[in-house]
Chain A
Amino acid sequence: MWQLLSGFASVLEPFHFLMLTIGAALGILVGALPGLSSPMAIIVLLPITYGMEPLPALLMMVGVYVGTKLGGSFSAILLRTPGTPAAACTALDGYPMAQKGEAARALGLATIGSALGGTIGWIIAVAFLPLIAAVAVNSGNADIALIGTAGLVMVSAFVRGSTLKGLIGVVIGLLIGTVGLDPITASERFTFGSFYLTEGIPFGAALIGFFGIAVVLADMELIGLRQELVAKAVNMKMPSFREVVRGRWAILIGSLYGTGVGAVPGVGAEGATWLAYATVRNKSKDRAEFGKGHPEGVLAPESCNNAVTGGTMLPMLTLGIPGDGSTAIMLGALVLHGVEPGVLLMRDHADLAWGILAGLFVATIMSFVIGWSLVRAFVYVLTKDRSWLFPFVLVLAVLGAFASSNAMFPVFVAIGCGVLGFVLERLGFPIVTTVLGLILGPIIEYNARVALAISGGDWGTFIDAPHRIVAVALIVLLLGWEIRQAFRASHEARAPAAAQT
């Protein structure tokens, strides 16, 4: 408990609090603009945060992460175009409410739903964090390698789109992570005689390419698109206490789904919001009103959307496995600041971990306050053409890559990864899986080889304890399940084709 209080004390230091507040405001702004995402905003912040201590840098990123969740609902309600994929569900009832002249009320519901969902998710995360951390901290090298591998397989299995392509994305990331000096023998691998590649692919630059430059290239289609707001003058009307109590089940169900699904690596908020919405609608007496502007149709996805932030922090802080793209970059930022993420984070950098967790709650509150008080400003930018913004994102991407080691080589790596990310995304390979492979690959390799060295080269060390057998079984089952699904799908695709001929 005292560690959490100490975390709050750190977060409330003026500079730390300022960084978090700026991050939250930027997050709402970015979240409100369709096409711009939380990972991209965090990437843009990287060059600014290099010179900071790890905690304020991470707090700024946490602020952005939480802020984008709320900002995404603004455009979903007023334009029917979600600012973030996770806010797509909010448009189902938020936009009809706005059409009926209740835009202010819908925005108020989204804001209060986000704040309450974020708070519930945070409470659950705080309750479970010490438990998971206590188990994680006793892990050996073999456990860490297995946890990392299981995390990668889980990310691929639950990621949006094709699991097969998710797995391929992971392997591409793992291969990129093997470039450079071997972690045990220090012999060169895949350097092609280049001095620059001996230190491996610059990690920060790769992230900047995958989440910054690739997104700008992909969003070129959106340039010139102008959309009209459904309501001309927009304010925010907070729901009454009675209305919030009436929607308590929607908030609770949304929050539980959000936290639970968020804790599963790679799933993120997108799937969870639809699950929460469907559950609340099916449970409701007036389910026919859903889709026509039902308040609970806004409360459920928005509370879910923000509760995800608590869920994703659990695997990130205790196991070093990110829950989504944003937490993947935060892990990357930890590495750039010389802090190794993983099972030892809670032991070796407890003050930082608890500070991040305390910051998550303060960011939820600040997003609520900022969103409520500055709603007009955020709505103003909704209709603006983002082509004014993209050139600055690119300059910041170049500066961020350069600042990662004060050299030009990472800039070219960022551009290369940007092109690779753009191509992979267009081909249906989720970029987040490649990034996770890149992050976890070196950790898995190092720990697997140390475990083998300790055991005298006995590969049985990976199955010499019940929990390791469970981890291996989980990996094998998930892989087997995916291969079976692929075979079944191919048969199903073949059957109609054969019937037509």
Chain B
Amino acid sequence: MERPARRDLVTAVALAALGAFVIWKSRAAADVAFVDAGGVTPGTLPTIYAVILVVLSALLGWQALRGRIAGKAAAFRFPPLVWARILGTLALLIAYAVLLPSLPFWLLTFVFLAGLFLLYGHRRPLAMLATAVLGTAGLELVFIYLLGLPI
């Protein structure tokens, strides 16, 4: 099986599993709440959606087994540098979000911006620092002082 078709098959299995999980959880929702008109419970629509998801996933998987790729999927095969940038960006973003309540906005934003500039391959310290400082100052001015964001 070609790689894109295999990817569709794996995706179909994962989505079908998600659908099955939602059906199971929806039954729990149906048990605890009262039934409104038409026999509808809080779990009815999620169950319908989940059943549709399972059916569509089965169709996607069936197509993949027959060698057909649904649409054009972009590959996950990036050069190592691009992967490093994607994962590095995510790591810095999560760290930024986690530390934001406990560190000053201006300090954290400056470090975050400078870190990303480094990660993206900039090697001119003066330009990097100037952009990070001016950017931080602008963001602090607009969001903290002018808009009063309680961050």
Closest-by-CB residue of B relative to A445 is B45
In angstroms, Cα B151 to Cα A464, docked, is: 53
Closest-by-CB residue of A relative to B51 is A171
Stretch of A180-188, A274-282, A325-333 at the chain-chain interface:
A180-188
Chain B binding surface, main DSSP class: helix
In angstroms, Cα B34 to Cα A453, docked, is: 13
- Interface residue from A48, A216, A427, A490 paired with B89 (Cβ < 8 Å): A216
> Mask for B50-82, Cβ within 8 A of A = 1, else 0?
101100110110110011111111111010001
Pair A415/B93 contact, Cβ less than 8 Å: yes
Is B147 interfacial (CB-CB < 8 Å)?
yes
Is B137 interfacial (CB-CB < 8 Å)?
no
> Mask for B88-125, Cβ within 8 A of A = 1, else 0?
01100110110011000000010011001100111000
Pair A221/B82 contact, Cβ less than 8 Å: yes
Residues of chain A within 8 A of B22, CB atoms compared: 175, 190
> Mask for B13-41, Cβ within 8 A of A = 1, else 0?
00100100010011001001110111110
Residues of chain A within 8 A of B94, CB atoms compared: 415
Pair B73/A428 contact, Cβ less than 8 Å: yes
> Mask for A291-305, Cβ within 8 A of B = 1, else 0?
000000000000000
Pair A178/B49 contact, Cβ less than 8 Å: yes
In angstroms, Cα B61 to Cα A164, docked, is: 11
Q: Which of B39, B69, B151 has the most CB of A within 10 A?
A: B151
Total interface residues on B, using CB and 8 Å?
71
Residues of chain A within 8 A of B112, CB atoms compared: 391, 394-395
In angstroms, Cα B16 to Cα A396, docked, is: 35
Pair B56/A171 contact, Cβ less than 8 Å: yes
Closest-by-CB residue of A relative to B34 is A185
Min CB distance A299 to B, Å, is 29
In angstroms, Cα B115 to Cα A390, docked, is: 12
Is B86 interfacial (CB-CB < 8 Å)?
yes
Total A-B residue contacts, Cβ distance less than 8 Å: 196
Is A24 interfacial (CB-CB < 8 Å)?
no
- Interface residue from B60, B78, B122, B139 paired with A168 (Cβ < 8 Å): B60
Residues of chain B within 8 A of A188, CB atoms compared: 29
Min CB distance B9 to A, Å, is 12
A217-B150 contact given A427-B7, A490-B63, A493-B66, CB 8 Å threshold: no
Q: Which of B36, B69, B71, B131 has the most CB of A within 10 A?
A: B71
In angstroms, Cα B50 to Cα A168, docked, is: 10
Pair A164/B56 contact, Cβ less than 8 Å: yes
Pair A220/B85 contact, Cβ less than 8 Å: yes
Is A403 interfacial (CB-CB < 8 Å)?
yes
Residues of chain B within 8 A of A379, CB atoms compared: none
In angstroms, Cα B95 to Cα A398, docked, is: 12
Min CB distance A442 to B, Å, is 10
Stretch of A13-21, A34-42, A406-414 at the chain-chain interface:
A406-414
Min CB distance B142 to A, Å, is 7
- Interface residue from B18, B32, B76, B117 paired with A187 (Cβ < 8 Å): B32
Residues of chain A within 8 A of B39, CB atoms compared: 457
> Mask for A423-464, Cβ within 8 A of B = 1, else 0?
001111000000000000000010011001101111100000
Pair B67/A494 contact, Cβ less than 8 Å: yes
A47-B143 contact given A190-B46, A388-B131, CB 8 Å threshold: yes
In angstroms, Cα B73 to Cα A174, docked, is: 22
Min CB distance A394 to B, Å, is 6
In angstroms, Cα B78 to Cα A406, docked, is: 36
Closest-by-CB residue of A relative to B105 is A399
Residues of chain B within 8 A of A216, CB atoms compared: 89
Residues of chain B within 8 A of A383, CB atoms compared: none
- Interface residue from B37, B57, B86, B139 paired with A220 (Cβ < 8 Å): B86
In angstroms, Cα B151 to Cα A403, docked, is: 9
Is A224 interfacial (CB-CB < 8 Å)?
yes
> Mask for A478-489, Cβ within 8 A of B = 1, else 0?
000001001001
A-B contact pairs, 27 of them (CB 8 A): A47-B147, A48-B147, A168-B53, A168-B57, A175-B46, A178-B49, A182-B33, A182-B42, A184-B42, A187-B32, A190-B25, A221-B82, A387-B120, A388-B117, A390-B89, A390-B116, A395-B135, A399-B143, A403-B143, A403-B149, A426-B76, A428-B71, A428-B72, A449-B36, A455-B37, A490-B66, A497-B67
Residues of A within 8 A of B (CB): 47-48, 50-51, 161-162, 164-165, 167-168, 171-172, 174-175, 178, 182, 184-185, 187-190, 213, 216-217, 220-221, 223-224, 387-388, 390-392, 394-395, 398-399, 402-403, 406, 408, 411-412, 415, 419, 425-428, 445, 448-449, 452-453, 455-459, 483, 486, 489-490, 492-494, 497
For the A-B complex with A47-B149, A172-B15, A220-B78 known, give 18 more contacts whose Cβ atoms are closer than 8 Å: A164-B59, A164-B70, A184-B42, A185-B34, A185-B42, A189-B43, A213-B93, A394-B96, A395-B96, A398-B96, A399-B139, A406-B149, A408-B101, A411-B97, A428-B72, A428-B73, A493-B63, A493-B66
Minimum-distance CB pairs A-B, first 8: A162-B71, A428-B73, A457-B38, A161-B71, A182-B42, A457-B37, A162-B70, A452-B38
